[in-house]
Structure 1
């Protein structure tokens, strides 16, 4: 198993354990960001699905940053690069 596959699996496992609901308009589910896992853990460009999910979950990013299990991934330089590439920069938390 390659290192990127292992990293993706770790991301999915971590994300699957955390589900938050901050509003009725958006259901915060970090697992929804799993299409972004390869782009966030490598230099791969984000897919259209990744960008769509990232925009959908944008209102939840501040909550994810407060979670120690998600903070390192969501606050990584690659994650910020993906967000910028998708046209959905991180909110000021």
Structure 2
């Protein structure tokens, strides 16, 4: 339990420390198929995914709020996966389970 709490605290600290480092794939020139759902004008912000932390770090079922945020931020997932501060969360087995449970495609970057 202490590890989950520590991971959660580190994620929150990192997500508030690096908001400028996370940018929409279009801003970086990445035009590959990233599962973009056409969310034009979405601001990529890892802090928006905080409702998913418990499910990703603990392996539980994602909440409705988590699924809504994942759907909203789906076009940003490749950018998050490429950021060393967040890559471990996006590529974790629990993250894949959460994405499947929410009906969000795993990003192919």
* Bin of the TM-score, shorter chain as denominator length: 0.7 to 0.9
TM-score of the two chains, using structure 2 as the length reference? 0.76
TM-score, L = length of structure 1: 0.88
Structure 2: state its 5+ residue gaps: 27-39
* Whole-angstrom distance in 2 between the partners of 1:8 and 1:91: 22
TM superposition shift of 1:18: 2.4
1:78 aligned onto 2:94: yes
RMSD across aligned positions (CA):
1.7
Q: Deviations over 1:36-74 (max 9, x none)?
A: 001000121100001101111110111111111111111
Runs of 4+ in 1 over 3 A off after TM superposition: none
RCO comparison, higher one (Cα < 8 Å, 6+): 2
State the aligned residue count.
Answer: 93
Matched with 2:107 is: 91
When Rg is computed on C-alpha atoms for both structures, the one with the higher figure is 2
Give the Cα–Cα distance (whole angstroms) in 1 for the partners of residues 107 and 59 of structure 2.
22
User: Which residues in structure 2 correspond to 1:39-58 (within 5 Å)?
Assistant: 39-58=55-74
Does the 8 Å CA contact 1:18/1:29 hold for their aligned counterparts?
no
2: CA distance, partners of 1:72 / 1:4: 14
Could you list the runs of 5+ residues in structure 1 that have no partner in the other structure? Answer: none
